[in-house]
Amino acid sequence: MNFDDIKLPAGMAGNVDHVGIAVTNLDDAVKLYKGLLGLELDGVEEVPREKIRVAFLRLAKGSGIGHIELLEALDPDSNIGRFIAKKGPGLHHVAFAADDMTQALANCREAGIRLLNEEPVVGAHGKMVTFLHPKDTGGVLVEICSAEH
């Protein structure tokens, strides 16, 4: 991969949309983050396709990061279940919002960054999401999500 070719900022909204954290107990994790950081719970939802339950907590305005996303596996045989079995709970992914998802993904492909899903899929909050291969992004699982809320 030629890093000179990377043009990720084009089509990206330029801010971190959320940080995803894998947890073993969603209710406890929500209490922890609410209590520890004074975050507000935006909501909890199930994402059946991923076999997970997700809580979104809103950070203070102006922090530059919109949300903390807590991810609990509903089935050990899911991406989050396997992640926790292998590495334990903890930081799972960083999500950047894209104003133009098509352009952002085209830029990634052009730069030789592999996509874990070639076409965006519906994630939490009904947003379209795509994940980049962590081997092509310095070991960090990067999510690109649609900017609209």
Residues near Co ion, by CB under 5 A: 20, 69, 95, 143
Q: What is the DSSP letter of 113?
A: P
Residue 5 Cβ, how far from Co ion at the closest point, in Å? Answer: 26
Residue 146 Cβ, how far from Co ion at the closest point, in Å? Answer: 12
Q: Which is nearer to Co ion, 72 or 143 (CB)?
A: 143
Task: Give dist(CA 36, CA 34) in Å, integer.
Answer: 6
Q: Which is nearer to Co ion, 20 or 120 (CB)?
A: 20
Residue 56 Cβ, how far from Co ion at the closest point, in Å? Answer: 9
Q: Which is nearer to Co ion, 69 or 72 (CB)?
A: 69
Decide: 105 and 115 in contact? Cβ < 8 Å: yes
Secondary element (H or E) of residue 125: none
Residue 16 Cβ, how far from Co ion at the closest point, in Å? Answer: 11
Please give the structure tokens belonging to residue 90.
């903890």
Q: Which is nearer to Co ion, 95 or 108 (CB)?
A: 95
Task: Give dist(CA 94, CA 73) in Å, integer.
Answer: 18
Q: How large is the C-alpha radius of gyration of the chain?
A: 15
